[in-house]
């Protein structure tokens, strides 16, 4: 019953896109629900995979969740600077939550960052309401970096994303 973390295959992109979209929709993280302009971005795993590493968590052949690991900036990085890897789009299927899937995915990203020459930190952004994720990040050694908090949609004042950093 172990969770296996590996790179996503193209035939899994659509399913992972749905898991990611459902996680955001069901948790009320998209202001405009099914009509939110960020929803297609969440579903577009192929685009993320073309510019970064998309990892999946699998147990007994079942896709449980995924994450995008950005080792060195590029078009899918939001906040990574020199020497920083970034974690994006962490999502776990609702039925698999509380089973260590999210932690396994984040740990896999940390391990990849440590194995990438020149990486000194892992950074990420998170919505204010993602309290469970915040506890996970802090348990794994991430610290808040409020000086880096940012807003991806400036006309929505309440969408400031919180940032975290882990020193490797």
Go through the chain and tell me how many residues it has. 168
Specify whether the CB–CB gap between 109 and 6 falls below 8 A: no
Q: How many CB atoms lie within 10 A of CB 135?
A: 10
pLDDT at 147 over 90: yes
* 167 has pLDDT over 70: yes
Res. 154 pLDDT band, cuts 50 70 90? confident
What does the pLDDT look like over 74-114, one tens digit per residue? 999 999 999 999 999 999 999 999 999 999 999 999 999 99
Query: What domains can you pick out in the chain, each with its CATH number?
Result: 4-167 (3.40.630.30)
CB of 65 closer than 8 Å to CB of 57 = yes
What is d(CA 95, CA 104) in angstroms, rounded to the nearest whole number? Answer: 16
Predicted confidence (pLDDT) per residue in 37-48, tens digit? 899 999 999 999
């Amino acid at each position: 019953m172990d969770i296996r973390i590996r790179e996503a295959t193209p035939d899994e992109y659509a399913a992972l896109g749905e898991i990611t979209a459902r996680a955001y929709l069901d948790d009320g993280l998209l202001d405009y629900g099914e009509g939110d302009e960020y929803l297609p971005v969440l579903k577009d795993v192929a685009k993320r995979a073309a510019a970064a590493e998309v990892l999946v968590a699998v147990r007994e052949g079942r896709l449980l969740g995924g994450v995008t690991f950005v080792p060195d900036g590029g078009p899918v990085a939001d906040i990574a600077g020199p020497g920083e890897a970034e974690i994006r789009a962490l999502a776990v299927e609702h039925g698999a939550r509380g089973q260590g899937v999210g932690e396994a995915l984040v740990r896999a990203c940390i391990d990849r960052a440590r194995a990438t020459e020149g990486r000194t930190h892992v950074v990420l952004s998170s919505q204010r309401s993602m309290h469970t994720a915040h506890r996970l990040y802090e348990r794994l050694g991430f610290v808040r970096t409020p000086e880096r908090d940012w807003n991806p949609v400036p006309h929505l004042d309440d969408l400031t994303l919180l940032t975290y950093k882990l020193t490797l």
